[in-house]
Structure 1
């Protein structure tokens, strides 16, 4: 007996485990290192696709989508995240549903659709299962909190922020704690709660002392904005001067545009402090960075700040023209956001329809036209993998070949149409018997196959005996008149999945031959 198929399946199972371990590590990386996940995730996706591991490939693609969205490349990131969501919805995969909804919440908030962002944020948290790591739960809570706050539910947002912070503190995730506190502080700033914002910045500073990294660009911008609330422009300068003195490369940027946003904040603080030349210097650097990196949103904001700077220095005509340019840029940005949403959704629609069509035709190729059962082609493709899985899991695999007794007599005496009706009713009885992971197939003519993963010989024989009795006792009279319909069944079991498809089918066929020889209408199993 040879076992060529099983080792190959074991190799695939081993490689799946390695790829999944890589994904677990990538998904657990701190927010500040999100860019570092792009290249290894792409490698995992390509390898998973080559091995036919679609779920692993989708999980890797979602990591790549997250990077794209964080970097501001919303259109592709949103499109990929929607594709993963559609895949996960069809398969009811809670793991990917939770994560895809989270990426899409970020995507929709980024393109200005706060309502849709909140919808996905609620879903990203509701799909979390009880066995999710606490860090993942805290991240999803934070996403929900941000979306609630931006949609006007400030108290609910604050409650979720605090729940997330409690979890991050409990697990000792300093970076996540900083990220949550930063979001809370910026929310307080936006709500003109200076006392609350300063208290949260104090917490950030205390937590940062326990962190191996310095504040990120996003955190520095939040601190600077809060200092500006009371006109402490010297403190803003002290906080953000690193963005100009060559130290920018040492600052973490959690979002693609945050260094440029920091420069805009610095420009505004210098303008308000009566230092227009220094403000223009920071603004020029922000514009240069926005143009180099294609940051349209920052470029639009820079025009607004430039208009304010012109007005502060008495150049009102220039201020008016720059203000008009700001409104044009804002309108173009909103249009681009709408187009990004539309293109992402259209691409998802097309991909979903194409996949459904492909799956439909593939399914048709694997089905018997008369009975709707799987056909021999499907068995030939699926059985090697099932045997390989049995080897890996060390579980039994049983097969049964069923053949209708004297079926030629039904065709010859009555009609082929009547014979077809009998085959269809037998197929229904097989489907009724094929519970759980069992597979029912028509191998051709009046011969059928039952594949029973994880089922040992005793149980397989008992199931086949019940099926035999069910076929014999069926109300055939209206269909075949006085002609009976019975079946002979040959059953075999591989205790640990070892054996080739041809060898196990041959053993089942041998037992079927014995059943026929000993008088038909009986089940014969391995001795």
Structure 2
């Protein structure tokens, strides 16, 4: 049985105070718990989420939501879990939270895998790994590699999948994380089983047993099921039955980390006992699996139990009962198939609705932040984005530079030619500024003929050099067809913050003072500190 580990641990947030630091550490601890602890996540994550909401710690809230979603989807609540995972993905994209973005992509990948869209699962698994910060812990990277390896294999990219499996296993072994090693080996063994590579599958199963024995932890129901399936490949049914025997033991320590894992094990046990001609024992296992399926409303397992019962009747010569049981199985399987198709459609529609709502929201947000004439960002965007950039620069102790760009004698163009000509000039200036806004640079129109350039990470010298390049580019542009001989030049005032926090108003005022100096000095020039 192919399984995935629960969401990995992430970097703790920079604490705003002692309580936030404690909450962040608690979330990281929950995220780092092994898959065997899946059912221990919901209650503490919900409690931390409540407190994080009170403190206004939005990133922590989303991390906790994703933990709850992680449990939901593995217990069968696919539609709601997928919809919420898409919502968190949209939030992380808007906030630029790379770690949360990586985690959300990983959960969305699982959603698509569960509804049978392996292509989308691969896309999100790849994005999840790509978004993972370079300084992420190795255990985190191993889990993301595992998710991608499964997706690659299910999309027919076997060689690439094997390479990612190997990378994940290397990391897990270097960390000596036994449960993670077993999780990776389980998926590698199941993949070899599906390819009918019995020797390789047996090798991985042997390694799984060895690491569990060395580090003294029980293999999960899904892992035991994989091992038993591999052992059945060569007809060693007795050995497979011994492998699965702990599932039936009173007070069993075997954990069913997915909602149907234990019931699946019982059906596999019934099958291997039947094939080994141990019919009475097979009936006991089959009854236990069917009862668990009924108790937990596992419709697929219940239908499979019918199929197993039909096979058991046939093997013991009870052909009429076998026929009747198979007829019931066929009816249930047909109804289940229809229900599954409908459920997948609902789940995919929920994901589409979340994605479409995000797209429309982003388009409206983008329109609200753009200047209609030039297509550059507008003053509203500057007011929203610049404080965050200044705070980031102060935290990272990196420089940030601003430049106010003003067109010289622009009124003369409007008065002499026309306002339509003036608009044409502004549009072309906007294009020149957009071309100058490389990398993280932001170009905006503040109003009229006044523009702003924001240079994150640029010191005074770099900012002034880039503004000088822009000034020369504007002056050297061929304006003859537009202004009929009237020159178009710019005066630019530059300022830089290098020594910690600065108010937006202070920096803009300094840039404006330098702009005034450039104007007073004859225009068509750049003035900085």
TM exceeding 0.5? yes
Is 2:86–2:355's contact at 8 Å kept on the other side of the alignment? no
Q: Deviations over 1:273-300 (max 9, x none)?
A: 7776665554343233212322112111
Question: Secondary structure at 1:482's aligned position in 2?
Answer: coil
Seen in structure 2, the aligned counterparts of structure 1 residues 342 and 13 have a Cα distance that, compared at 3 Å, is: farther
2:221 paired residue number: 217
Seen in structure 2, the aligned counterparts of structure 1 residues 48 and 512 have a Cα distance that, compared at 3 Å, is: farther
Distance in 2 separating the partners of 1:379 and 1:260:
57
TM-superposed CA distance for 1:261, in Å, is 2.3
Distance in 1 separating the partners of 2:164 and 2:488:
65
2:36 paired residue number: 32
TM-superposed CA distance for 1:380, in Å, is 1.0
Seen in structure 2, the aligned counterparts of structure 1 residues 428 and 171 have a Cα distance that, compared at 3 Å, is: same
TM-superposed CA distance for 1:133, in Å, is 5.9
Question: Secondary structure at 1:209's aligned position in 2?
Answer: helix
TM-superposed CA distance for 1:253, in Å, is 1.7
1:461 paired residue number: 464
Seen in structure 2, the aligned counterparts of structure 1 residues 274 and 497 have a Cα distance that, compared at 3 Å, is: same
Is 1:502 the counterpart of 2:505 in the alignment?
yes
Distance in 1 separating the partners of 2:365 and 2:163:
49
TM-superposed CA distance for 1:142, in Å, is 5.6
Distance in 1 separating the partners of 2:231 and 2:14:
60
Seen in structure 2, the aligned counterparts of structure 1 residues 128 and 439 have a Cα distance that, compared at 3 Å, is: closer
Task: Pick from 391, 411, 422 the counterpart of residue 388 of structure 1.
Answer: 391
1:175 paired residue number: 179
2:290 paired residue number: 287
Seen in structure 2, the aligned counterparts of structure 1 residues 128 and 10 have a Cα distance that, compared at 3 Å, is: closer
Seen in structure 2, the aligned counterparts of structure 1 residues 482 and 361 have a Cα distance that, compared at 3 Å, is: same
1:72 paired residue number: 76
Distance in 2 separating the partners of 1:128 and 1:494:
29
Q: Deviations over 1:70-128 (max 9, x none)?
A: 33334444555667788999999998898777656765665567x75996699589969
Q: Deviations over 1:374-412 (max 9, x none)?
A: 111111111111111111011222222222222222211
1:377 paired residue number: 380
Task: Pick from 355, 365, 370 the counterpart of residue 368 of structure 2.
Answer: 365
Please tell me the root mean square deviation across aligned C-alpha atoms, in Å. 4.6
Seen in structure 2, the aligned counterparts of structure 1 residues 202 and 278 have a Cα distance that, compared at 3 Å, is: same
Q: Structure 1-normalised TM-score?
A: 0.77
Is 2:491–2:518's contact at 8 Å kept on the other side of the alignment? yes
Q: Deviations over 1:167-194 (max 9, x none)?
A: 5444423223334454566677778888
1:349 paired residue number: 352
* More divergent stretch after superposition (230-239 vs 309-318): 230-239
Task: Pick from 329, 332, 337 the counterpart of residue 332 of structure 2.
Answer: 329
Distance in 2 separating the partners of 1:327 and 1:191:
28
TM-superposed CA distance for 1:256, in Å, is 1.6
Seen in structure 2, the aligned counterparts of structure 1 residues 282 and 99 have a Cα distance that, compared at 3 Å, is: same
Is 2:101–2:128's contact at 8 Å kept on the other side of the alignment? no
Distance in 2 separating the partners of 1:374 and 1:452:
14
Structure exhibiting the larger radius of gyration computed from Cα positions: 1
1:517 paired residue number: 520
Distance in 1 separating the partners of 2:189 and 2:377:
59
1:208 paired residue number: 212
Question: Secondary structure at 1:493's aligned position in 2?
Answer: strand
Q: How many residues align?
A: 514
Question: Secondary structure at 2:491's aligned position in 1?
Answer: strand
Distance in 2 separating the partners of 1:172 and 1:431:
51
TM-superposed CA distance for 1:368, in Å, is 1.0
Gaps of 5+ in 2: 1-12
Distance in 2 separating the partners of 1:424 and 1:116:
42
Seen in structure 2, the aligned counterparts of structure 1 residues 128 and 383 have a Cα distance that, compared at 3 Å, is: closer
Q: Deviations over 1:336-372 (max 9, x none)?
A: 3333333333333332222221111111111111111
2:10 paired residue number: none
Seen in structure 2, the aligned counterparts of structure 1 residues 92 and 74 have a Cα distance that, compared at 3 Å, is: same
1:485 paired residue number: 488
Is 2:377–2:444's contact at 8 Å kept on the other side of the alignment? yes
Question: Secondary structure at 1:354's aligned position in 2?
Answer: helix
Q: Structure 2-normalised TM-score?
A: 0.77
TM-superposed CA distance for 1:489, in Å, is 2.2
Is 1:434 the counterpart of 2:437 in the alignment?
yes
Task: Pick from 449, 468, 478 the counterpart of residue 452 of structure 2.
Answer: 449
Question: Secondary structure at 2:214's aligned position in 1?
Answer: coil
Question: Secondary structure at 1:322's aligned position in 2?
Answer: helix
1:260 paired residue number: 263
Seen in structure 2, the aligned counterparts of structure 1 residues 336 and 104 have a Cα distance that, compared at 3 Å, is: farther
